[in-house]
Chains A and B, each alone.
Chain A
Amino acid sequence: KAGVTQTPRYLIKTRGQQVTLSCSPISGHRSVSWYQQTPGQGLQFLFEYFSETQRNKGNFPGRFSGRQFSNSRSEMNVSTLELGDSALYLCASSLLTSGSPYNEQFFGPGTRLTVL
């Protein structure tokens, strides 16, 4: 079974632009979470999507948004890019079955975004 895939793997943008990152979960997984990893702030939770609805959201400005499609693939969008948005963006998928107390998150390889 293929793992979580993220595209593109590397991206260079300039300040003020917007960017869209894509995440394809493991087949059958219904939940997708996004994390931002920077040297200064570490790993921080952005948001989680399940059944095309945002279920949880971290403490990030409204410039960060996302969506999930009916096939569980997810995209995140960052508008009006700032230098501080340079980071590794990781997505993780989980099965999320009803009645299960725990759902392991499987991470993708990440998208490295550089904002110049």
Chain B
Amino acid sequence: AQTVTQSQPEMSVQEAETVTLSCTYDTSENNYYLFWYKQPPSRQMILVIRQEAYKQQNATENRFSVNFQKAAKSFSLKISDSQLGDTAMYFCAFGDGSARQLTFGSGTQLTVLP
């Protein structure tokens, strides 16, 4: 069974600054996907970024990028130029195979301060 650990329950960052959210996971699989989801107060889960384990290049999506360290089983999310709209709960998630069953971490509540 896979486990996903997010050790930072809460974080805050000043608007326009950069923040990094941490995530570690444990698996015996070789092919898998890792995701960061955002859940704002509306509770709508939104995919922020995904990483395929077989790709060595770190994924980027505009202001969001990841640092994927496969050997260390680490998958952190960096948010650059933080905006007020980035305030949300962020979940790290693991998906094996075709990612039809996701295992989530406990979440990190990020607050962007004006």
Contact = CB atoms under 8 A, between A and B. Distances in A.
B62 interface: no
Prevailing SS type, chain A contact patch: strand
Contacts of B52: 102
A101 B98 contact: yes
Contacts of B98: 96, 100-103
Nearest to B31: A101
B91 interface: yes
Interface of A: 31, 33, 35, 42-45, 48, 50, 55-56, 58, 88, 90, 92, 94, 96, 100-107, 109-110
A48 B101 contact: yes
Contact of B100 (A48, A88, A109): A48
Interface in B65-114: 91, 98-107
Contacts of A45: 101-103
B44 A42 contact: no
B91 A109 contact: no
A77 to B, nearest CB: 20
